[in-house]
Structure 1
Amino acid sequence: MSETIEIRTLTVEDYLDLKESMVSAYADMAGSYWREPTIQRLIKLFPEGQIAVTVNDKVVGCALAIIVDYDKFGDSHTYEQITGYYTFNTHNPKGDTLYGIEVFVHPDYRGKRLARRLYDARKSLCEQLNLEGIVAGGRIPNYEKYADKLSPREYIEKVQDREIYDPTLTFQFSNDFTVKKILKNYLPNDEASMGFATLLQWFNIYYEKDLDTIRYNKSTVRIGLVQWQMRDYGNLDGFLQQVEYFIDAVSDYGSDFVVFPELFNSPLMQEFNQMDPAGAIRGVAKYTDRLREIFQQHAVAYNVNIISGSMPIVIGEGLYNISYLCRRDGTYEQYIKMHPTPGEVSAWGIKGGSEIKVFDTDCGKIGIQICYDVEFPEPSRILAEQGMQILFVPFMTDTQHAYNRVRFCAQARAVENECYVAIAGCIGNLPKVNNMDLQYAQSSVFTPSDFAFPVTGIKAESTPNTEMVVIADVDLVLLKELHAFGSVQTKKDMRKDLYEVKWKKK
């Protein structure tokens, strides 16, 4: 005979089935079952928090919960205290934590993964209510068999390492709960657990503390990449006209970011072509401050955050390669290329920057690295540890070999740092500009490699060596899920007991 399984909210009419299942589930704790008035009170206080699982319309298990303001209780409470001595007057609809006060399944129906369904339903409720997470006190019913040779802490560690099986704690670990603390006398009558319990916690990765505020970080972020063609624009006005054209075009698609390539303003060097390469690039650097101001104006006017590619800049006596984040609220920040290529050093005398940071935007936390920078994994890891969700890489490469170095390393950064990486490059040629004659690019948006993302790890990419834009949506929620539930978790699984990535400059 086939069975029909349903997860639904508990009703008062379910009480007799509920009592029968609970008595059977707690056969080792005689008389441990909820009385009918108590269940009625719970259902009246918080109906959606009382979840039942039925098999062929019979209630065979449940998950009961209340909402609490957790700071009022802390980590050293007892079951009686958290439940208000079973009155549930501790329930606070405006609290921050879903507190699990009961989960059980009738022994005759175990092995059907019903408890997992109850837990999944409880997690979904926590997410829907935008609570920080779930906390519960958990029994360790097999501890009595080991109490003469293991402390509670040692027992828990061995359960976590799969050396010992505990029907409650093993299940909790498999459902992404962590142990915050060991509690004494949480349930004094629980002889199998020797009076001990685990204080368990599950974090809601979707929790938004400021969900009700006007300013919020978006979940789906639209990125526009400009694959810029190097050519003669005639003069500065012609160059700026093309810049605004691309910003306008990408903005029309509702993009949150527009990204220009590295040194995309190189056509302006034609004015200084009579100079040696070092003099010419210092000449074009005089336009950088003006270009940054124009990007700021466009960011506000077109309501889009702009990664300004990169441009040469003179600071003191030194020449650097700088990129700007021009936010659509009018503010800006900057990043200086950390690793100039040997060619940049020998031809232009470019120096490397010495600072790296994550930038806050209205669409999450972002990082910027310029071309060669992305070929060094350590700075990207530092950005990832600071919460970076999207890494933007303006680049300029002359040959396909050079391009592939950027591309392959950018894809590696996306996988190892569990983030999105967007690269934007220049194409075409500048026959009248020394040291800038050939360009090769295929601008792309790369993703981590797991089930929620494209199997190739490529969200979108341009046609190689064609002037165009790439528009792609990336979902930041998928990154949160990856960090918590990914097939592999490269950020979390770093062996920091053996090695670390450390920023040395103070």
Structure 2
Amino acid sequence: MIRLAACQYAIELFETWEAYVAHLERLCAEAAEQGAQMLLLPEYAGLVLSGQLPAAQRSDLKGSIAGIQPLIEPWLALCEGIARRYGVYLQPGSAPVLDADGHYRNRAWLFGPEGRLGHQDKLMMTRFEREQWDIAAGQGLTVFDTALGRLGILICYDNEFPMLARTLAEGGADLILAPSCTDTEAGYHRVRIGAQARALESQIAVLQSPTVGQASWSPALDENVGRAGLFVPPDRGLPGNGVVSESLVLDPGHCQWLICDLDLEQVRQVRRDGQVFTRRDWPEQFERACLCSALQRG
């Protein structure tokens, strides 16, 4: 049994580095004190760093992501220190990062008690990212080996594409972390439904952490709606609706942790002896679909 913590992360304005550090340390300490072993924050949680920029710069869409670049490494060092201090795994959300090729990418890092474990870039860009923000897609998927189990990260929109989760599952991942940032209830539900569908299809667990609240000072994070949740395949020994736990309201008005326990061995048992074998039957599904397509063309 492992204890997970997914944050409904309220976007707040912290105008100094010291204020932000106190906020993040206090927030993570709260989850660690409740026994959480894995802490998940949402997509673009790192953009809260833009609150430290001059008002004119933080209110400019592209200026805000350029302005936080010098803060990225100190932020990562802070996150690493928190993970080491509390002996937890921490996925502190994502941030847009300028790569050597001149393109920004939406990147999520994973830290553990032993330090920085690596990162995962977002692969599927939303229209906002592509058309207004010029954020480029990353490449490749990573499965992280941890003391809690093997896991992967799919950032927000990535959860709406079945083959990404399937690739992680075939790589041995039992748990997918799904940091998200959505500005409408419809957007939240697209990611949430995708996350639950991925849990069903590959018979794995998916943990979602969203942004919430209003932040008029940030053109990227001005409106935020979402619930934290932990989803599993609805099958023997697991909840009949596939929802282990979910936040009660879309916007609590403040940062709030969803603390939940997960038995990954129960999830694995469903793959071995479930009422259905959606994961095992995946290849057969595609074979039948290809056969039907060939017959229709003939």
TM-score by shorter chain over 0.5? yes
Aligned residue runs from structure 1 range 426-437, under 5 A: 426-437=211-222
Write the letter of the residue equivalent to 1:415.
Answer: L
Aligned residue runs from structure 1 range 276-315, under 5 A: 276-315=60-99
Does residue 246 of structure 2 align to residue 465 of structure 1? no
Q: Deviations over 1:330-364 (max 9, x none)?
A: 24211111112110122221001001021100011
The verdict on how the C-alpha distance between 1:272 and 1:321 changes in structure 2, with shifts beyond 3 A counting, is farther
- Measured in 2, the distance between the counterparts of 1:373 and 1:237 equals 33
Q: Is the 8 A contact 1:411 1:447 kept in 2?
A: yes
Q: Matched residues, percent identical?
A: 27
Write the letter of the residue equivalent to 2:35.
Answer: G
Offset at residue 272 of structure 1 (A): 5.0
Does residue 5 of structure 2 align to residue 221 of structure 1? no
- Measured in 1, the distance between the counterparts of 2:54 and 2:200 equals 42
Q: Is the 8 A contact 2:9 2:210 kept in 1?
A: yes
Write the letter of the residue equivalent to 1:256.
Answer: Q
Between 1:265-274 and 1:460-469, the stretch displaced more is 265-274
Aligned residue runs from structure 1 range 23-422, under 5 A: 220-270=1-51, 271-275=53-57, 276-316=60-100, 317-422=102-207
Offset at residue 449 of structure 1 (A): 0.8
Q: Which residue does the alignment assign to 2:224?
A: 439
Q: Is the 8 A contact 2:46 2:92 kept in 1?
A: no
- Rg (Cα) greater in structure: 1
Q: Which residue does the alignment assign to 2:240?
A: 455
Q: Is the 8 A contact 1:288 1:312 kept in 2?
A: no
Secondary structure of the 1:231 match is: coil
Secondary structure of the 1:265 match is: helix
The verdict on how the C-alpha distance between 1:240 and 1:423 changes in structure 2, with shifts beyond 3 A counting, is same
**Stretches (4+) displaced over 6 A:** none
Q: Deviations over 1:264-303 (max 9, x none)?
A: 1333324255244112212123212211111111111011
Unaligned runs of 5+ residues in structure 1 are 1-219, 501-506
- Measured in 1, the distance between the counterparts of 2:108 and 2:179 equals 9
Cα root mean square deviation, aligned? 1.6
- Measured in 1, the distance between the counterparts of 2:272 and 2:154 equals 26
Secondary structure of the 1:495 match is: helix
Q: Is the 8 A contact 1:423 1:444 kept in 2?
A: yes
TM-score w.r.t. length of structure 1:
0.54
Does residue 287 of structure 2 align to residue 498 of structure 1? yes
Offset at residue 374 of structure 1 (A): 0.5
Q: Deviations over 1:250-271 (max 9, x none)?
A: 1112211000111113333242
- Measured in 2, the distance between the counterparts of 1:495 and 1:318 equals 36
Which structure is higher in helix share? 2
Q: Is the 8 A contact 1:367 1:392 kept in 2?
A: yes
Q: Is the 8 A contact 1:261 1:310 kept in 2?
A: yes
The verdict on how the C-alpha distance between 1:381 and 1:296 changes in structure 2, with shifts beyond 3 A counting, is same
How many residue pairs match? The answer is 281
Write the letter of the residue equivalent to 1:453.
Answer: L
Write the letter of the residue equivalent to 1:365.
Answer: R
Q: Deviations over 1:414-450 (max 9, x none)?
A: 1001111000011111112223211101111111111
* Correspondence for 2:277 among 489, 492, 498: 489
